[in-house]
Structure formats: structure tokens, C-alpha cells
Amino acid sequence: MTLVALPLLSATPAFAMHISEGILPFHWAAFWYLVLAPFVALGVRRLNAISREDLSLKPLVGLLAAVVFIISCMPIPVPTAGTCSHPCGTGVAAILVGPLVSVLIAAVSLLIQALFLAHGGLSTLGANTFSMGVVGSFAGWLAFRGARRLGGSLAVAGFVAGLLADWATYAATALILSLGIRGEASFTPLFVKVVLAFLPTQLPLGILEGVITAGMVTLLYRKRPDLLVKMRVITEKELPAHA
């Protein structure tokens, strides 16, 4: 509660990305913290379980934490829109270490960004982590599993997962923002307005995130297919001949 309340007490402009400090009213900021809490708790439990099962998975978690941090605060210019935005990275993290650990990774990344880079905010950390961590991770993970069930290759499933993780994250951001700032205004027109404002930037960026995700999954398949078997991304039958 202190984390939510403190930033709301000051009132000068900030230059930030994600949902900036102070934009959400107190009750909405607290609500998203409450919604996020069980996911973070389950993420911690899952990470402990993974560490107990196999120590060799720790470098994979470390690698993905670094990747998510870099990707989610790297502004990429989109010439068609004339704006900059950033992918999320939670799609690839969810595929490789599971959606719950991916939520935890997103929470830590966004906390560091909020504290030291004025990127997002502490009062909006719950909301930002919910959209990027929870929605992005689960959308990416479900899309990947679904595409694999339908017979898609690793690259195709990775692309679909990255694309949908990105788009779902921004759809969730639009939802959170519309609910938080609408006041007496009706929800649907505002939600549509925010989604339409995101479209020119996030449509091409989602495709880029799909390419990055597909690239990372296939690269890991070539280098360490055994890790993908351990994390149940592929079955033992799908191991390459040389592995």
C-alpha cells in the first residue's frame, strides 16, 4: 500500500512508458496489485520447484530475465506511425520457462525500470505487470501450445506466440487504462479509442516480436534441445538426430 500511495502524493510531469506513475486512481492501482499477487506467489513457488528439480535450468531463467528486461525497455521506432514502442519478451519467456515464472521475471524487470529508469511507475507496477506479465505470458504460452497442437513447427508456433503476447499485452493495457481513467464516461468508446491509438505502432511491432520469439526458440532448439525437453516445449521424439 505504501508503494502505491507514495508516488501518488507528488504531482509533476514524468516522462515514462508503460502506464506512467500516478495515472491510475488509488483504488484501481491497489486492485491490480491484488489481482497480480497470487500470480507472483505462484511464480516464486514454481521457480523454487524448477531450481530444486534441475540446477541447469537456472541459467535459462537468468538469460530470459535479462532478455525481458532489455526488450521491454528498448524503444523501437516504427516509421509508419512516427512513434517508438517496445516489445514485451514475455511470450518467449513463457514458452521456455512457463507462464508463472515469466510473470515473476516481468515483475522484477518492471520494478527495476520503475525505480531507476522512470519507466512506468511504482503505483502502476501492479497494472503494468498484470498486462505484460500475466496477460502477455499466458497469451503467448497458450498460443504456442495451441499452434503446436495444430501441427505448427517450432518457428511458426513461436511466431504466433510472440505476436499474440504483444497484442494481448497492449489490449490489456487499453482495458486497464480505460477502466482507470474513464470517470463518468462510458467504457466501450474509450476502450476502442485507446486500442485504435495503439494499432499503428503495435501491429508492426507485434510482428517483430513474433520474429524475435521464433528466432529465440529455434536457436535454443539448435543449441540446447535437451532444455526444451526438460521444460516440455518439445517431446523426446522431436530431438534432433545429433542430440
Partner 1 sequence: MPERRRKWKILLMHLVLLPTLLFAFYFFTLAPKSWEGVDEAVVEKIAREHGREATAPLIEPGSGDLLLFGFLVGGVVAGFAAGYYWRQLTGKDK
Instruction: Give the binding site for partner 1 (CB under 8 A).
Output: 6-8, 10-25, 56, 59-60, 62-63, 65-67, 69-70, 73-75, 77, 79, 81-85, 112-118, 121-122, 173, 177, 180-183, 185, 190, 193-194, 197-198, 201-202, 220, 223-224, 227
**DSSP string across 221-232:** HHH-HHHHHHTT
Shortest CB 235 distance to partner 1, Å: 21
> C-beta of 48: minimal distance to partner 1 in Å?
19
100 vs 176, beta carbon nearer partner 1:
176
Q: Which candidate, 14, 26, 11, places its Cα nearest to that of 126?
A: 26
- The least distance separating partner 1 from the CB of residue 226, rounded to whole angstroms, comes to 9
In the bound state with partner 1, the residue whose beta carbon lies nearer, of 147 and 178, is 178
CA-CA distance, 41 to 213, in Å (whole number)? 26
Considering the complex, what minimum distance in angstroms separates the CB of residue 160 from partner 1?
23
d(CA 210, CA 215): 8
Task: Tell which residue, 139, 151, 117, 120, has the closest CA to residue 213.
Answer: 139
Strand ranges, E, within the chain:
76-78, 83-85
DSSP letter string over 105-144? HHHHHHHHHHHHS-SS-STTHHHHHIIIIIIHHHHHHHHH
50 or 227: CB nearest partner 1: 227
Least distance in Å: CB of 66 to partner 1?
A: 4
Give CA–CA dist 102/152, Å, rounded: 23
Nearest CB to partner 1, comparing residues 41 and 70: 70
* Nearer residue to partner 1 within complex by CB, 49 or 84: 84
